[in-house]
Amino acid sequence: KLRSPVITTTLRSTSPSPYYAPLPYISSVRIEEKPPTSTTTTKTSHPPPPQSPKAWPPPAPSYASPSVGAKKRVEPRLSTMIFNTFDDIINNFIDPPLRPSVDPKHVLSQNFAPVDELPPTPCEVIQGSLPPCLDGAYIRNGPNPQFLPRGPYHLFDGDGMLHSIRISKGKATLCSRYVKTYKYSIENQMGSPVFPNVFSGFNGLTAAATRGALSAVRILSGEFNPANGIGLANTSLALFGNRLCALGESDLPYSIRLTSKGDIQTLGRIDFDGKLFMSMTAHPKIDDDTGEAFAFRYGPVPPYLTYFHFDANGNKQPDVPIFSMTRPSFLHDFAITKKYAIFADIQIGMNPMDMIIGGGSPVGTDPAKVPRIGIIPRYAKDESEIRWFDVPGFNLIHAINAWDEDDGNAIVLLAPNILSVEHTLERMDLVHALVEKVRIDLRTGLVTRHPISARNLDFAVLNPAYVAKKNKYVYAAVGDPMPKIAGVVKLDVSKGERQECTVGSRMYGPGCFGGEPFFVAKEPQNPEADEDDGYVVSYVHNENTGESRFLVMDAQSPNLDIVAAVKLPRRVPYGFHGLFVRESDLNKL
Task: Fill in the amino acid letter for 77.
Answer: R
The whole-angstrom separation of Cα 53 and Cα 86 is 50
Facing residues of 5 across strands? 31
Q: How far is CA 214 from CA 81, 82, 473, in A?
A: 13, 11, 50
pLDDT tens by residue, 565-584: 999 999 999 999 999 999 99
SS3 category, 103 = coil
Computed from CA positions of residues 225, 226, 229, 233, in that sequence, does the dihedral angle turn out positive or negative? positive
Q: Over its length of 589 residues, how does the chain's per-residue pLDDT go in tens digits?
A: 334 444 444 433 333 332 233 333 333 343 333 434 444 433 444 444 444 333 333 455 656 544 333 334 556 788 899 999 999 999 999 999 999 999 999 999 999 999 999 999 999 999 999 999 999 999 999 999 999 898 999 999 999 999 999 999 999 999 999 999 999 999 999 999 999 998 888 888 888 899 999 999 999 999 999 999 999 999 999 999 999 999 999 999 999 999 999 999 999 999 999 999 999 999 999 999 999 999 999 998 999 999 999 999 999 999 999 999 999 999 999 999 999 999 999 999 877 666 555 556 677 888 899 999 999 999 999 999 999 999 999 999 999 999 999 999 999 999 999 998 888 877 888 889 999 999 999 999 999 999 999 999 999 999 999 999 999 999 999 998 889 999 999 999 999 888 889 999 999 999 999 999 999 999 999 999 999 999 999 999 999 999 999 999 999 999 999 999 999 999 999 999 999 999 999 999 9
Q: Which residue from 237, 238, 345, 234 is spatially nearest to 287, judged by alpha carbons?
A: 238
- Which residues carry a binding-site annotation? 283, 332, 398, 577
The whole-angstrom separation of Cα 311 and Cα 313 is 5
The whole-angstrom separation of Cα 394 and Cα 415 is 10
Computed from CA positions of residues 300, 280, 573, 395, in that sequence, does the dihedral angle turn out positive or negative? positive
| Cβ atoms of residues 208 and 216 within 8 Å | no
| Cβ atoms of residues 519 and 461 within 8 Å | yes
Q: What is the DSSP annotation of 374-388?
A: EEEETT-SSSTT-EE
pLDDT score at 353 = 60
Helix H, strand E, coil C: the string for 468-526 is CCCCCEEEEEEECCCCCEEEEEEEECCCCCCCCCEEEEEECCCCEEECCCEEEECCCCC
Q: How many CB atoms lie within 10 A of CB 204?
A: 19
| Cβ atoms of residues 160 and 232 within 8 Å | yes
Q: What is the DSSP annotation of 455-469?
A: S-EEEEE--GGGTTS
pLDDT score at 352 = 63
Q: What is the DSSP annotation of 59-84?
A: PPPP-SPPP----PPPPPPHHHHHHH
- Which residues carry a binding-site annotation for Fe cation? 283, 332, 398, 577
pLDDT score at 73 = 54
pLDDT score at 183 = 98
Q: Which residue from 28, 108, 36, 26 is spatially nearest to 71, judged by alpha carbons?
A: 36
Q: Which residue from 318, 313, 306 is spatially nearest to 281, judged by alpha carbons?
A: 306
Q: How far is CA 465 from CA 238, 290, 553, in A?
A: 14, 11, 19
Residues belonging to the chain? 589
Where would I find the H helices in 136-279?
182-190, 205-220
pLDDT score at 64 = 56
